[in-house]
Amino acid sequence: MAKSKFEYVREFESHNTCLPNCFIVVRVDGKGFHKFTEAHGFEKPNDRDGLLLMSKAAACVMEEFNDISCAYGQSDEFSFVFNRDTNVYKRRTEKILSVVNSLFTSSYVFFWDKFICRRLKYPPSFDARIVMYPTVKNLRDYMCWRQADAHINNLYNTAFWGLVQKSGHTKQEAEKILCGTVSSEKHEIMFKNCNINYNNECELYKKGTMLVKRLVHKGKGDSYNTVYVPLNCDIINDKFWNENPHILNSDLDTPVCQEINEECQLVFVKTKKICDDSTKKTKEKKNRNPQRRNHVKAETNGVIE
Ligand code: GTP
Ligand code: MG
């Protein structure tokens, strides 16, 4: 095709690329969600439906990018981890960042009505950043940092709103009571003043959500569907990583799961299936090949560097 005389302006474009061999993490975070959650009547300190909607939007992103091995979310944020050997968009930073962020945001809006029974009053937006981590330790420490953040905030918020909602304190009083307290003191305040045993609080709120891939049998045949399973578990200790070595090593196969629970079903429903069934045929993913899947089994021995 003949080039126009204006074509030269292309030369002004510049592209950044992610460093090779690094895990690529994209984190999206709700912009002004303090105001957004207030305006939309979210339950304080945690709104279960709102959190499930976040997971649903994250699962839509994972479905689009097969190279995302897991995603961790808490409060108004979600972090997506791309395999360190991914060649998605030739590792172009702006492209990865912008597509992940816009797909997450549009999915959040698209599925709003399925999770929240109140009208969406104005369009939410999310900021996004991209960070590269060269080692497994760096990546795991990043995930630990986000889960520790969830824990610290949730402990404070549960105590704060317990004092306000259950003990009738004003927000100012609650703030004063909690000022300078350490973790064990917050536990005690909740137990004595609000009749809350923090250990019995919902794992979704205490741990956040780790979305991982699993395969489930598709009917009677030997083919599989990929599902995105929300786990509300500890990701700081080794147990989770030892049980899911495929997250850190893309050569390993996605585990097969026998059944999916109700919460998983909510996250699992596919955007594309709702809109257009014909796209199904184009999805030939490496993990759906049962021969390959069986071949690599049992090599899974912990994390890799
Ligand atoms: P920016 O991210 O800087 O734009 O500010 P932000 O207002 O989004 O605050 P930030 O991201 O630091 O924190 C998230 C905020 O979202 C929390 O402080 C809460 O006010 C709100 N939020 C997140 N999840 C929930 C929820 O489940 N229920 C309620 N009521 N609020 C929530
Ligand atoms: Mg925010």
* 3 state SS of 173: helix
Atom of ligand 1 nearest to the CA of 76: 23
Contacts (Cβ under 8 Å, ≥6 apart) of 55:
73, 209, 211, 230, 266, 267
Cβ atoms of 267 and 55 within 8 Å: the answer is: yes
Ligand 2 centroid distance, CA of 239 (Å)? 30
Cβ–ligand 1 contact at 209 (below 6 Å): no
Between 299 and 159, where is the model more confident? 159
Confidence at 267, pLDDT banded by 50, 70, 90: low
Q: Which of 105-109, 221-225, 289-293 has the lowest mean pLDDT?
A: 289-293
pLDDT digits (tens, 9 = 90+) for 124-161: 999 999 999 999 999 999 999 999 999 999 999 999 99
pLDDT at 283 over 60: no
**Integer Rg of the chain from CA:** 22
Give the residue, by CA position, lying nearest to ligand 1 atom 21.
34
Give the residue, by CA position, lying nearest to ligand 1 atom 5.
32
For position 141, what pLDDT does the model report? 98
For position 218, what pLDDT does the model report? 77
pLDDT at 279 over 80: no
pLDDT at 208 over 80: yes
Ligand 2 centroid distance, CA of 28 (Å)? 9
For the chain, the domains span 14-149+206-299
Atom of ligand 1 nearest to the CA of 33: 8
Ligand 2 centroid distance, CA of 172 (Å)? 23
Cβ atoms of 55 and 76 within 8 Å: the answer is: no
Sheet containing 23-30: give its strands across.
126-133, 23-30, 77-82, 68-74, 209-217, 224-231
Atom of ligand 1 nearest to the CA of 42: 30
Cβ atoms of 237 and 197 within 8 Å: the answer is: no
Cβ atoms of 104 and 57 within 8 Å: the answer is: yes
Whose tokens are 């709102």? That residue is 50
Dist CA 226 CA 283 (whole Å): 11
Query: Which of 139, 8, 135 lies closest to 80, judged by CA?
Result: 139
Ligand 1 centroid distance, CA of 41 (Å)? 13
For position 268, what pLDDT does the model report? 59
Ligand 2 centroid distance, CA of 246 (Å)? 30
Mean pLDDT across the stretch 186-198? 96
Mean pLDDT across the stretch 115-126? 97
Q: Which of 31, 34, 53, 154 to mutate to test the pocket of ligand 1 (most atoms within 8 A of CB)?
A: 34
Mean pLDDT across the stretch 85-91? 98
Between 164 and 225, where is the model more confident? 164
pLDDT digits (tens, 9 = 90+) for 10-62: 999 999 999 999 999 999 999 999 999 999 999 999 999 999 999 999 999 99
Ligand 1 centroid distance, CA of 272 (Å)? 29
pLDDT at 95 over 80: yes
Dist CA 4 CA 37 (whole Å): 49
Cβ–ligand 1 contact at 111 (below 6 Å): no
The domain made up of 14-149+206-299 has a fold known as Alpha-Beta Plaits (3.30.70)
Confidence at 291, pLDDT banded by 50, 70, 90: very low
pLDDT at 265 over 90: no
The count of other CB atoms within 10 Å of the CB of residue 121 is 10
pLDDT at 293 over 80: no
Cβ–ligand 1 contact at 49 (below 6 Å): no
Q: Which of 123-127, 186-190, 298-302 has the lowest mean pLDDT?
A: 298-302
For position 1, what pLDDT does the model report? 67
Q: Which of 28, 33, 204 to mutate to test the pocket of ligand 1 (most atoms within 8 A of CB)?
A: 33
Atom of ligand 1 nearest to the CA of 50: 27
Mean pLDDT across the stretch 185-191? 97
Q: What's the Cα-to-Cα distance from 221 to each of 145, 218, 269, 278, rounded to whole Å?
A: 42, 7, 20, 20
Cα torsion for 49, 50, 55, 61, to the nearest 10°? 130
Exposure string of 51-77, with b = 16+ CB inside 10 Å and e = fewer, is bbbbbbbbbbbbbebbbbbbbbbbbbb
For position 272, what pLDDT does the model report? 46
Atom of ligand 1 nearest to the CA of 30: 8
User: Across all residues in the chain, what is the average pLDDT?
Assistant: 87
Give the residue, by CA position, lying nearest to ligand 1 atom 20.
34
- Counting ligands in written order, the one closest to the CA of 41 is 1
Q: Output DSSP code: residue 17.
A: B
Give the residue, by CA position, lying nearest to ligand 1 atom 28.
46
